[in-house]
Amino acid sequence: MTTGKVTGIISNLVTVEVNGPVAQNEICFIDLAGVKLMAEVIKVNGDKASVQVYESTRGLTIGCPVEFQGYMLEATLGPGLLSSNFDGLQNNLATMEDVFLKRGEYTKPLDDNKLWDFTPIAKAGDQVIAADWLGEVKEGWLPHKIMVPFAFEGTYTVKKVAEAGQYKINDTIAVLTNADGEDVNVTMTQKWPVKVAVGSYVEKPRPFKVMETGVRTIDTLNPIAEGGTGFIPGPFGCGKTVLQHALAEQADADVIIMAACGERANEVVEIFTEFPELKDKHTGRSLMERTIIICNTSNMPVAAREASVYTAMTLGEYYRAMGMKVLLLADSTSRWAQALREMSNRLEELPGQDGFPVDLSAIISSFYARAGYVKLNNGKSGSITFIGTVSPAGGNLKEPVTESTKKAARCFYGLSQNRADKKRYPAVDPVDSYSKYLEYPEIIEYLDNKIEKGWVDKVTKTKYIIRKGKDAYEQINILGDDGVPMSYHEQYWKSELIDFVILQQDAFDDIDGCSPLDRQKFMLDLILEICDKSFKFNNFEECMTYFKNLINICRQMNYSEYKSEQFEKYLGQLKEELKHE
């Protein structure tokens, strides 16, 4: 193995003089008086390797010995990942003893001694390739597939699969024979370099299904596809976190992976405190059972922050290969980009816009490209839906991270300061936001079947009313209440009706917080029915009072159990009001 010694230190960028070959992104350990600090090679120049250290470099001196490992940063994959809290390097945070994170303390991601109930799937004589299913263990409710390791190249013949029974993750559960006739043992765990996309699938078709989230402004107005990508940019205080948590709680997915990348630690605490208590609306089980947290909060070492999103994606790819529907949420990708910037800065690279590295756009798009809906070798399918948040500096969307992400992601949920100031939550801007999936013929057809024929036309119409309302509002503001025709007021108030009843949603209300698709359809139909009417008001105050009353009744409906007695009571009230226009 190559070794070396430290020759330079600036914060967490360390220069190492090496005595042999080193690879880009190779992992090494720096020995500081017995404490091993993990680091990654990010640049090589002659016999000098620049490494980014995943820990504080306090106390490091020139001459400290370095050992190179010959592998890249890897994720450990196997049963037991669900419900775990990992840091960006996949250390298990729950098994660390100290209150404080100790430098150089690395914990195993998985429990080596836990016994899992194994059932074989493959049998002797089967021809298999990487990611094919050999057997299954129950990870909570989830049928966790034990696969041919992703790193295996070519075709193998199954020589033996273990009988049903209890095994530990490192027990051999299958023996495979390769093309050269050599036998290889397979256990229930494997490793994979996080920065390399797992390619073990047959094809990646265009997404054609919609992922239900229970958030009206997303599902109704700009739905995200299963296997699709989206991003949520917004200034601080506009509700990014609340929206992300709502998605994590409600989305119709099998596995949720949350990468808390350079964000607040208390937000992670909220997840692992509340999720065990909350019920998954789809399975009725505790939410934590389907959740994995990758937590590299803002005060944890910057270099590991960059790793955390890759670790999260790799775990997602692992579950996707089992035929699972994975939702990956990364909060916030801007912090990841900033980590890249800090390092590029210390490397004295020529900076691009705002000091970010020039290849930022390429890095972001190749990351988003790892999401997607895939067909597996066995005919089954799996998906990773990825939604990242972006924290634009000063709330200005004309900055490199937002612009680069816009090129890569297909859904845009822009949070508006203006809406947040008015407490119109979720503050997703209905005019600027979009979902490219609404243009996909596959998605239109899917919604035709899933909701009703012509649904997307209704959505388009709704957006049209919102835009018209905005125009009318601007005219009213310029010309005054009395300076515009009555129809402008009507137009404006119809858009307000949509805003208050469809777009706005109380994330903290037990009932309003999550709105299933059938309920969303019912409410949209109801609101569009009102919008289709033309009213005759004598003056604008009459118009305002009338619509405020309608809004109030509809909101009471939103707060009531769907189709309950109370709900029907308000519906009756509404119908009554609509009679005398």
Partner 1 sequence: MSEKAFQRIYTKLTAITKATVTLEAQGVANDELALVAGRLAQVVKIKDKSVTLQVFGGTEDIPTNAEVTFFGEPPSLNVSDDLAGRFFNAYGEPIDGGPAVEGEKRQIGGPSVNPYKRRQPSQLIPTGIAGIDLNNTLVSGQKIPFFADPDQPYNQVMSMVALRADVDKIILGGMGLTNDDYLFFKNEFESAGALHKIISFVNTTDQPPVERLLIPDMALTAAEYFAVDKNEKVLVLLTDMTLYADALSIVSNRMDQIPSKDSMPGSLYSDLAKIYEKAVQLPDGGSITIIAVTTLNDGDITHAIPDNTGYITEGQLFLRADPDSGKVIVDPFRSLSRLKQLVQNKKTREDHSAVMNTSVRLYADAANAKTKLENGFDLSDYDLRCLDYAKEYATRLLAIDVNISIEEMLDTAWELFGKYFTKAETGLKEKLIEKYWRGEA
Out of 272, 434, 522, 562, point to the residue binding partner 1 (CB under 8 A): 272
Specify the residue, 253 or 294, whose C-beta has the smaller distance to partner 1. 294
421 binds partner 1 (CB under 8 A): yes
Specify the residue, 234 or 372, whose C-beta has the smaller distance to partner 1. 234
Nearest distance from residue 158's CB to partner 1, in Å?
A: 40
358 binds partner 1 (CB under 8 A): no
Q: With 0-12 CB in 10 A as exposed, 13-18 as middle and 19+ as buried, what is 187? A: middle
Identify the DSSP state of 428.
B
96 binds partner 1 (CB under 8 A): yes
End-to-end Cα spacing for the chain: 83
43 binds partner 1 (CB under 8 A): no
How far from the centroid of its chain's Cα atoms is residue 170's Cα? 30
Q: Judging by DSSP bridges, how do beta strands 65-72 and 3-10 pair with one another? A: antiparallel
Nearest distance from residue 32's CB to partner 1, in Å?
A: 9
Q: Which two tokens stand for residue 227?
A: 């296997």
Q: Which two tokens stand for residue 288?
A: 């934590």
In the shown chain, the binding pattern of residues 545 to 564 toward partner 1, with x for contact by CB under 8 A and - for none, equals ---xx-xx--xx--x-----
- Interface with partner 1 in residues 62-91 (CB under 8 A): 62, 85
- Interface with partner 1 in residues 140-159 (CB under 8 A): none
- Interface with partner 1 in residues 170-189 (CB under 8 A): none
Out of 224, 300, 330, 401, point to the residue binding partner 1 (CB under 8 A): 300
Biggest CA–CA distance in the chain, Å, is 89
355 binds partner 1 (CB under 8 A): yes
Of 527, 528, 526, 523, the C-alpha closest to 560 is 523
Out of 1, 45, 99, 181, point to the residue binding partner 1 (CB under 8 A): 99
Specify the residue, 112 or 354, whose C-beta has the smaller distance to partner 1. 354
How far from the centroid of its chain's Cα atoms is residue 550's Cα? 37
Nearest distance from residue 407's CB to partner 1, in Å?
A: 22
Nearest distance from residue 342's CB to partner 1, in Å?
A: 5
Out of 446, 540, 547, 567, point to the residue binding partner 1 (CB under 8 A): 540
Nearest distance from residue 541's CB to partner 1, in Å?
A: 5
Nearest distance from residue 140's CB to partner 1, in Å?
A: 19
577 binds partner 1 (CB under 8 A): no
Out of 129, 362, 393, 431, point to the residue binding partner 1 (CB under 8 A): 393
Q: Is the dihedral of CA 170, 171, 174, 175 positive or negative?
A: positive
Angle at 278 between CA 273 and CA 282, to 5 degrees: 140
Of 262, 226, 222, the C-alpha closest to 243 is 222
Distance CA(170)–CA(190), nearest Å, equals 9
3-state secondary structure of 438: helix
Nearest distance from residue 399's CB to partner 1, in Å?
A: 9
Out of 3, 5, 15, 468, point to the residue binding partner 1 (CB under 8 A): 15
60 binds partner 1 (CB under 8 A): yes
Nearest distance from residue 360's CB to partner 1, in Å?
A: 13
In the shown chain, the binding pattern of residues 200 to 239 toward partner 1, with x for contact by CB under 8 A and - for none, equals -----------------------------------xxx--
Reported as half-sphere exposure (CB side, CA atoms, 13 A), residue 187 has a value of: 14
Q: Is the dihedral of CA 498, 551, 428, 221 positive or negative?
A: negative
342 binds partner 1 (CB under 8 A): yes
Considering only the stretches 111-119, 271-279, 461-469, 488-496, report the one whose residues sit in contact with partner 1 under the rule CB under 8 A. 271-279
- Give backbone dihedrals phi and psi of 65, rounded to 5 degrees, phi first: -70, 150
Distance CA(115)–CA(282), nearest Å, equals 28
Of 322, 313, 82, 297, the C-alpha closest to 196 is 313
- Interface with partner 1 in residues 479-508 (CB under 8 A): 480-483, 508
Q: Which two tokens stand for residue 77?
A: 């994959």
